[in-house]
Each structure stands twice: as structure tokens, then as C-alpha cells.
Amino acid sequence: MCSKLKRLPELPNNLKELDLFGCKSLFEIPSSFKHLTNVESLDLFCCESLTSIPSGICKWKSLRSLYLNNCSKIDKFPDDIGTLESLTKIEAAGTGIREVPSSISYLKSLRSLSFSRCKGEDGVGLLLPPLLGFHNLSNLDLSDCGITELPDDIGCLTSLESLCLERNNFESIPESIINLSNLEFLDISYCQRIKVLPKFRYWTHISAVDCTSLEELSCPSFHNDIFAKHSQSIEANFSNCFKLNRNLRNNFVNDTLLNLLNIQGLAASVKRRSHHQVYKGAPLCGCMCYPGCEIPEFFNIRSNGSSINVNLPPDWSNYNFLCFALCVVVPFDRESSYSKVNYECSIISKDGDRRVELYRTFGSPCSLFWFPYFGPDYIRSNHVIIGFGFHLFREFCDNEFSFQFYVTNKKRSNIEKCAVRLMFSLHLETSDECEEVDGPHLEESDEEDEPRPMRLNDEFEEENEHLEESDEEDEPHPMGLKHME
């Protein structure tokens, strides 16, 4: 970092990387540098005095990466930037760019593009070029760009995997977004005018924190190979989305959890990941958060308060047990800072004489959910938090385990309700045999017509009836996982 460097010396023609990071006094790149045709990476990060990019760099046919972050005085690209046929990444966050030249759509190799915080002081949002040419673009960051309307051709970005649109002013997302079959991550946090989240073909991460006008969202869909990647998980964060339609929200939550059991790779993923995350206790498959004060019907083992004890069926390990899900209701007031919701799990060992602390990391409790430490300084009202994909270790557990939940730096009584659901494969449903013990129970209705805790769905019920009628009562169903040892 040469913060006092004002002019560049002559540089060799065979230079492959030009790193000018933090050269705050540098005010120009000489046009004579057009001969540096071997440069593959140009880093101008925080060159705050630089006012323009010379058109001569458009002759750098080997250039692959261009970093302009926080070059606040650069307000435009060269008109012929589309000739940089090898360019794969452009980062222009925090620049003065207000309009992107249409020639940028000729960058057929471009995979990552960021214009975060390019919105102008006059309130006019970033003007986007046609998006038809970005066939290989996988990452697009348009956060905090003052965008009031998204273009319909956003659905042409068929290779897009990550789309960040947070802190913008649009009211809707074009329905063409359903064409983004590779989209995994969508961030619309702090977009306080958006009312409807349209249907997506597939997704794994949705962040909609503080979307205070959001009312509607569609039920989720997932790739069957969603858990093929070791690090892949599902996350949906609707913190402070108080206008969400209750029925649509509940359908979204239940369908997400039920769809997980229909994913063939879930069992293998939990088993594989448990070998890498033994005793760490982090959710192996994902989490959800949204405003509310009721435990979803999906969870049939419930307790008032911050702790819950669970008895397992005597023969639980003979069934197709996959993993279990946890749920808590946390009350937040207007003075509650963003924090962590932690939990501790202990089990009765097989010898029956000792209690094993199963989920602690380096002597510390583990987290069910992390609230970010940026953005609004508080969460308003009660929120429901769900984590799923936790592994249960057969080598230790016989038939009983317990959970204790609490909020970081808060008393444990801050958890109002908690719940657990044992998740089995589709063809065997045994979690109704589980019972709560040693703790305050939720009151049960005396009405005969009161619906039971949600089972999987009608077709699973039919499958269970078929199993009950089978003559081979002692044999586990041939499909699915028998053991996860």
C-alpha cells in the first residue's frame, strides 16, 4: 500500500498483475499503459483520488479481474469496455458510476459483477444495461443502488447463482425470475417497499430481513441434489417481516420442512456431515426465522419454557431416522440487540448412570441461530426460530435426551416455548410415539375434532397404512436408511 503515490513509473510489458490497493493519492493511470497487454488483474481498491479509467486498458486482452471498489470519483466505464473478452470479474462497489454502458453486455466470460452502493446523491438509481448478454454471470450484486424497478430481462441470467438486491426501492420482482434455475442465494433485506416474493424454481438461501411491507411468498422447491455439496444448507430469514400473510407463511414453513424429507440426498448428507461436525452441534441442513409466537404444527414434541426432555421409542434406531429439527419462540423487545440463540443438549448414556453433554464446542454452548450484527439495532416482537438437520449419535443415546435454550446475554427464561421433531424418511413415520417428560406441557384440547400434530401428508399416511397391514411387521421397510452408524 503506497498511500502517497501520485504517479506511476514505467512498468515492464510482461507484467501480469498490477496491484495499486490503497494508493489514495494516485490521480491517474497514464494512457501510455495500453501496452501492458499481459496484465490479468488490475486492483485499484480505495484509489480515492483516481477520477477515470483510461480507454487504453481496453486493449488489455488478458485482463480477467478489475477491482474498483471505493474509487468514489470514478463515474463511468470506458465506452468500449465490452472488448475485454477475457474479463470474468468486475467489482465497482462504492464508485460514482450511475450508468453502465451497454457494451458491457458483450463480456461473454463475465461471471461476477458488483455495483453495490452505486446510487448517486440525487436519488436517481443505477441505470442498468440490457442483461441479455450475460449468459455466464453467476454472481450479481446490486445492493443499495437506489433501484426503483428491476428489468424484466433479469430472467435471462440463466447461470445466476447469487443475486443481492438489498436496500433498494422496488415494489416487486419480475416473475421472469422463475427462469433462474440455478439461483441459490437471494438477498432482498431492507427492501421496505416490496410486497410479494414471486415463485422461484429452486433456492437455498433467502434473506428478507426488515422487508416491512412483504405480504406474500410462494411455497419452496428444491433440487434433489441440494445437499450434494458438503457446505450446502437451506436458510430463510424473514426477521421483522410483520405483514407476512399468516397462512402463506405457515405453508412456506411446513412445505420447506416436509420437502426436506422428500430429498433423497438428505439422509446421506446428514450422515456425511456428522463425521465432520461431531459435537459441534451446528444445524447441518439449515434454519429459518420469522415473526410469530406459535410453534408450527410440524413439531409434535413441545414444551412451554426454555427446556424440553424427550423420550425416544424403544426401537427408534430400527426405523429410518434421519435427523431432528429444533424450534423456539423468542420474545424480543425494542431494546434487544441482535444476538445469538444458543442451546445445550445432554443425553442419558446407555449405562444410565451419567449425563453426556452432546452439543458443546470447546466448552461453550452452540448456536441455533445467529442474528447479524449490522442493520437495524433491534428485532421487534416475538420470533420463531427453526434449525433442522441435527444428527443424533446412536453410540451414546439410548432412549432419552434433553435441550436447554437461551439467548446470549439474556436470562434463560427469555425462551417462551420450545419444540423438537424427529425426522424420519417418507415411508416410516414413528415420531408420534415420542413423548415429553419432566417439564411443563402445552395444554391439549379436549375437542375430538382437534387436528393431530402434522404428519407428513396424505400420501405418506397411505404408505403408513400399507405398512401396518403388511405381514412382515418385524422387518423395516426396504426403502430409505436403516441405520446411520
| Matching residue, cell 488478458 | 62
Fill in the amino acid letter for 13.
Answer: N
Q: Name the pLDDT band for 471 (thresholds 50, 70, 90).
A: very low
Residue 388 lies in a domain: yes
C-alpha cell of residue 183: 439461483
- The C-alpha atoms of residue 243 and residue 216 are separated, in whole angstroms, by 9
**Model-wide pTM > 0.95:** no
Residue 215 lies in a domain: no
pLDDT of 435 above 90: no
pLDDT of 418 above 80: yes
**Cβ–Cβ under 8 Å, residues 13 and 36:** yes
Residue 365 lies in a domain: yes
- The C-alpha atoms of residue 22 and residue 398 are separated, in whole angstroms, by 59
Q: Name the pLDDT band for 360 (thresholds 50, 70, 90).
A: very low
Most confidently predicted of 70-84, 123-137, 351-365: 70-84
pLDDT of 252 above 80: yes
Percent of the chain's residues with pLDDT above 90: 44
Sign of the torsion formed by the C-alpha atoms of 137, 140, 146 and 151:
positive
For 382, the domain range is 290-443+455-469
Residue 294 lies in a domain: yes
Residue 340 lies in a domain: yes
Pairing of strands 301-304, 286-291: unpaired
pLDDT of residue 353: 55
pLDDT of residue 225: 58
Q: Name the pLDDT band for 200 (thresholds 50, 70, 90).
A: confident
pLDDT of 57 above 60: yes
Domain count across the chain: 1
Residue 151 lies in a domain: no
pLDDT of residue 336: 52
pLDDT of residue 423: 80
pLDDT of 446 above 60: no
C-alpha cell of residue 201: 424454481
In a 3-state reduction of DSSP, which class is residue 393? Answer: coil
C-alpha cell of residue 373: 450484527
Residue 29 lies in a domain: no
- The C-alpha atoms of residue 15 and residue 37 are separated, in whole angstroms, by 8
Instruction: Calculate mean pLDDT across residues 173-188.
Output: 92
Cα-to-chain-centroid distance, residue 73? 34
Residue 429 lies in a domain: yes
Most confidently predicted of 8-12, 223-227, 349-353, 471-475: 8-12
